[in-house]
Amino acid sequence: MNKLLLQKMIQKALKQYQVESNILTAKDIEELATKIIELKKLHPSQELYDLVQDVVYGYVTDSPYF
């Protein structure tokens, strides 16, 4: 899975929650992308967009998706 694509999707999702993506370190974005990849492997039928939204929401609200 393309991590650059995931990083852009994460940044876009953060904007929806009015969170500036520049407050996240590269390591934070990498960790979010890794969580999304793991969830996609566990739930292959779930849409990537939905997984990104769920993980970012969990990050923003400090309530992890899993």
Q: Are 12 and 32 in contact (CB under 8 A)?
A: no
Vertex 20 angle, CA 15 and 22, to 5°: 130
Q: What is the 3 state secondary structure string of the chain?
A: CCHHHHHHHHHHHHHHCCCCHHHCCHHHHHHHHHHHHHHHHHCCCCCHHHHHHHHHHHHHHCCCCC
Q: What is the pLDDT of residue 51?
A: 96
pLDDT tens column, 52-62: 999 999 998 88
Q: Looking at the 3D structure of the chain, how many domains does it have?
A: 1
Confidence of residue 65 (pLDDT cuts 50, 70, 90): low
- Does residue 7 fall inside a structural domain? yes
Residue span of the structural domain in which 54 resides:
3-61
pLDDT tens column, 13-47: 999 988 887 788 889 999 999 999 999 999 999 99
